[in-house]
Structures are given as structure tokens and as C-alpha cells.
Amino acid sequence: MKKLTALLSSAVLAVSAISAAVPQTVSAASEPYINYAEALQKSLFFYECQQAGPLPDWNRVEWRADSTMDDFITGGWYDAGDHVKFNLPMAYSASMIAWGLYQYPEGIEKCGEMENYVNNLTFVLDYLAACDLGDEVVFQVGNGQKDHTWWGPVELYDYAMNENGGYDGRPYYAGTKCSAAFGEMAAALAAGYCALQGRSDKTDYYLEHAENIFKIADTAKSDDEYQDSDASGFYRSSHFYDELFWAANWLYKATGEQEYLDKATGYIPNLGKELGSDELKYSWTMCWDDCMQGGMLLYAQNTQNSTYIARVKKHLDYSLTGVKHLDGGLAYYDSWGCLRYAATDGFLAAVACDTLDLGDTSKYEDFYKTQADYCLGDNPLGQSFVVGYGENAPRNAHHRTAHCSWNNELSNPTENRHILYGALVGGPDSTGNYEDDRQNFINNEVACDYNAGFTGLMAKMTEEYGGTTDPAFPEPEQRDDEFFVEAQIKQSEASGVSLSLKFTNHTAWPARVVNNMSYCYYFDASEVIDAGYKATDIVVRIDRDQAAMYGDEYRAVYSDITHYKDNIYYIEVSYPNGEAVLPISEGRQQCETMLALVFPDYKTGWDATNDYSNQDLLDSEDPVITDKITVYNNGVLVYGVEPDGTVPENTDPTDDVKPLKGDVNLDGKVTVADLTALNKYLVNLGKINSKAADNADYNSDKAVNVFDSTALRNKLLG
């Protein structure tokens, strides 16, 4: 009860200054509330957004589905906002995430994220192990040059690539002379072996492949095949001895075999040097292309050699005083994705403080906390740089599937359709400014390696400072219409009417092919019947069937004139093959039928103004999206309003939840999680729908405010 009281009290205090009528926002100048556990929770979710191949049943991303299922090796992570699986940065990311678990399991356990952490780590390690073919290793799946020609959701990647025919699947790249990529893969699998002891039954499997891949990398000591591949245009390797050094140190930790430590020692003369000297390089940090500083930290741990402990300390001192720092304390190593370097440098500093004898570590502790807090909003802009975290979070990350364009267009729609929770964006420019602009990929790109060191740092910060995860995460997204018809009257005369009817697929939850879609155009045949004809005497003419252009298997199917009620009739246009209309390009996101209805015997007397489906079209010269042309899937109404007022059944997952005062997260019970959800809403850190708002009005005064929070708190306290 004491713990419950403290939690509830702190939650209410967070909103005690809020006006009862209008929730207030926090100014950029005020100190933000930093919740490391929530940041860790969402960073792990980001990796679920990146999953390729068949999704595991624990994947929580409602807008993702199975994708690139014909890859030579399925699984793994898409690299960034694109759809290629580059093993060099992927393996680097996996190794850093494994290090976070290995070093700081208590923080992960404490906040309840261990299962999600292990799930995401084993998912990527399974892929990396599968890339080991025995005598050679796969180092990439997908072609970057081809991939970057299309901007759309990955679930429809194969359809987009084959829109003009000739697509024969995604290539894969394998070889033996790829020491950097293979060293990184071996390191990831060995680090995973260390981190997952007692948490997975696959550790021996990972170690087996780590040793084989390392043997291939060490035997070749060459990047020739890698540098001559598609990968070199995106993740060109600068050197490979640092990756071999990194891998050997992890293999020594995993096996305890002196052979690996001896190999690590043997690589040291080949590691990077400071420009113009023989001194080992210290003026750069850990990243996908340079594992030297991380390897040096592991080597210092493994040997406890004072010389190498001093090398680690020299790098940390450079991080404090040698590299540029922005206002707010961010270590600014490079303009492209600056936060990944700062967060990773913070993680290295934390691990060094916790594992090496560095003397007084207070300045290094301040450093890693500053890097973490800057990413989470404690900076001059008051800007969170993690999508979906904090009050002023980025939304429009440079990410194809999260944006979910339906017409291969970077700027359409204006806002990303999905929240890419947990993604660490590139960060501010060299002046400290930042704009949430999808088209600025230098500052608003996201990638697996961006979140790698950051995830480990959040595990450390959670262990040291605590925090709470969001019990309502992830909340269902607000969905827009996925299917509708955009219509236009092309000509309306006494002899009849001609129309353009564009059936539209803007699916996004997830983007997908849906077979057996149809729509109904309704018209009033009173004038025809009054003239002595039957409605079925009306002449129906199909002037264009766009679907037929793609092949006979895609043709639309047109019904006869069918009675609805009274003098209202309809024609149904069906697409048995859902591939006729796909959100992959301007030409394919809609499929047009040019429909003409002509007065019987080609006489006059047609009245287009009394036709139900024309009501929104009559006063517009432009195409109009109208809900009076109803859309169906397998005969079930999914969009629009029929002439008698019939609407689609509510598909809101909370629809069956009965009203319950205090049940803000709509889980059918009233707990501390509801108070948390209410308080987040009151400080503009969360959203609730109308059903939740009714339940949140705990005192039934027809307003949701701090008084409801207080009343709910008192109820929970008894």
C-alpha cells in the first residue's frame, strides 16, 4: 500500500498545476520529466517495427505484417527507413543491444522489459546465425540501388518492384572476403551468447556460428568481396581489424579460451592511429564502421592491463573536452545522425565507470547522463528526439513504412500515418537546431544502429535512476479510411450521365492486398419508371476498365442493375483480384471505371440530381470522395452509408468494452494503469478516445480534468 500510495501521489502531483478546463503544456525552458524505462520500452518496440520476413506472434506493431517472404534468408531487420538487410550495421546493432543486456540486466528486469528485450535480441541473432552457410556467409539481402527507387510500405515491396514486370526477386550477397561484416556478425552472436545465458536455449547455437563466422573472417583478412558489392554504396567498410578485435574479445568472454585473447592482442598493431603518429586512435567513438573503442573497453576488462585502461580513459577524456559540445552538453561527433554517436559514447562511459578502475568517475557519470537526457528532451529546444516519447517528440521520421505513402511520394501524405515509437532520429544540426522534416534525412533519418547504443544506455539509466514503463503501450492508432471511391460526374445531360469512379486502396494497418472488394453506385430510377420503362431497361455502358489494362485476371466485374428499395437501384463494381488496386504508385493506388447510364431507347428525361450517390458530386467540378458510394469486402460493408442509413459495424477494438467509470485504458478493470493514462492525457502526453473519455469523467461533471484524477486516486486508495 505504501508503494501504491507513493505512485499515485506522484502521478497526481504531476498534474496538480493543471487548469481544470484546459490542459497546460510545459515550456521549453522548464526541466522535462525523464523516464528512462519508458524510453527503453519504446526503443525495443522500434526494433519490432524493423522486423523482416514472417513476424513472430509477439510482434506488437499493428501496422506491420509479413514482408519480403521470398528472401533467400528471411528474418532480420530492415536497416533504416528502407528495406535492405545490410548485415554490417545490423550485426553492429545486435552486438550493442546484447552488450546492454549483458551489462545491465537488473535495469531491464526492474522495469519489466526483459521478455521484450530477449525476444528482439533473439530475433536478429536467429537471422545472423542463419546467414552462416558453412564455407561462406551471407552479408546482405536486397539491393540498395533498386530499393531506393521506391518510397512505400515494405509489405507491398514485391508488388511495387514488379509493377512494370520483370522483377525476379531480391538478390542476396555471400562470400568469404568480408572480414568487417563477418567480424561484426561473430561479435553479435558471441555477445548474444554471453547476454542470454539462462534466458535462451539457443546460446550454444549462437556460439557455434560465431566461431565459424569468425574463422572465415580471420582467415581471409580481407574486405575485397564486400567492397565490390552493392553494400559499398551504402555501408562501405573503412577497415576490418577493429571488427576482428571486437569479435575476438567477445569470443574470449564467451569461451574463456586464451586463443581468442591472443588474437585480440595480435590485432592491436593494425588498429587505427591518430593522424601523423603511432598512437592508437582515441578521437572517435563507437559506430557501425568503427568498433575500436568498444573493443578496447572489452580488452581492458579482459586483461585488466593498466595500459589499456588508460587508453579507455583517454577516449573518455576526449569525449569530455576534445570533441565539440552543443549547448546542453551534447557531444557532437558528426552532423549525420549525431545522436547515435553521443548515445553510444554515453554507453561506453557508463560501462567503463562500472567495470574499470578509473579513479574519480564523477565527470564521466555526468557525461553519460547528459547524453541520455539530451536525447530525451533536456536540451535548449525542450525537444525529445525519440519518436513517441515526451511532450515535444518528432513525428515525421524519414521512414517509408511509417510514412506509408500510397503513391510513391515522399511528401504525400503530409504527416506520417504511423508513430514509429522509440526511433531515435538523427538529431540537431551543428548549431543545435532541429526540424521534424521527413525530407531531411541527415537530421531525421532513423536506423537500427542509431538505437543500438541508445538502447544499452537506457538500460543503464533505468538500472541507476529507475523509471516506469507505460502500461497502456502501445495504444491503438487512430485510423483513417483505407478504402473509398473518388468520384466525378464527367457529363450530365437529359439523355443520361457519365461518371469517373476511382476505387481507392489506401490500406495502412497494414498496407495490403485485399481480394473481393466491391462498391455500389446508387441511383433513383423514378423518371425512367414514370416514363413507362423498367429500371433494367437503362443502358449501362463501361467506357473504361482500368483493371483490364493489367491483364484479364484483374478485370473488374460489373453487376446487372439491381433493386435496393423503392425506386433506388445500384450497380456493383467488384474486384475479385485485389492486386488490381494497390497503394504502391500514383497509377495503381486507384482503379478507374468510366460508367455511363443512358435513358432507355436513348430517349431523354434522365435526372442526375435525384441519384443518391451523386449528392456530393453535383456541385463540384473536381473528383470527390463520397461516402454515398459504399464499399464492401466479401459483401460486408466497410465504408460509406447506404441510402437507408446503414453504416459499417464499429470495428473499434474497444467497442465491446462496457462503460466503467475509471477504466481509462479500456481493459475492463480499474487499476493504477488507468490513473497513469488519465494523468498522461491531462498533460498532453497521451490521447484517449470518446469511450475512454466517458470513463475518465469519474465525477460525472461532463469534463475530464484534474478533479477526476483526484477522485480516481482516492478510489484506488480506498
Q: Which residues are catalytic?
A: 82, 398, 436, 445
Contact assessment for residue 684 and residue 23, using Cβ atoms and an 8 Å cutoff: yes
Tell me the CA distances in angstroms from 408 to 18, 156, 202, 693, one per residue in order. Answer: 43, 11, 40, 37
Between strands 137-141 and 172-175, the pairing is: antiparallel
The DSSP 8-state label assigned to residue 25 in this structure reads P
Contact assessment for residue 243 and residue 273, using Cβ atoms and an 8 Å cutoff: no
Between strands 137-141 and 85-86, the pairing is: antiparallel
Integer Cα distance of 415 and 309 in angstroms: 48
Contact assessment for residue 615 and residue 507, using Cβ atoms and an 8 Å cutoff: no
DSSP-based three-state secondary structure for 16 = coil
- Determine the Cα angle at 40 with ends 37 and 43, to 5°: 150
Cell output for 48: 519490432
Task: Please give the helix or strand (H or E) that residue 527 lies within, else none.
Answer: helix 526-530
Q: Is 142 left (phi over 0), alpha (psi -120 to 50) or beta?
A: left
Closest CA to 576 of 556, 597, 591, 603: 556
- Whether omega before 413 lies within 30 degrees of 0, making that bond cis, reads yes
Where are any strands of DSSP class E within 372-463?
none
Instruction: Provide the CA 259 distance to its chain's centre, in angstroms.
Output: 41
SS3 content of the chain, % helix, strand, coil (to 5): 40, 15, 45
Q: Which long-range contacts (CB under 8 A, 24 or more apart) does 712-717 make?
A: 712/662, 712/670, 712/674, 712/675, 712/678, 713/8, 713/9, 713/11, 713/12, 713/675, 715/662, 715/670, 716/4, 716/8, 716/670, 716/671, 716/672, 716/675, 717/4, 717/5, 717/8
DSSP string, 194-247: HHTTTT-TTHHHHHHHHHHHHHHHHHH---HHHHTSGGGGTS--S-SHHHHHHH
Tell me the CA distances in angstroms from 383 to 256, 412, 463, 467, one per residue in order. Answer: 45, 25, 24, 20
Integer Cα distance of 578 and 580 in angstroms: 5
Where are any strands of DSSP class E within 567-635?
568-575, 590-598, 624-625, 630-633
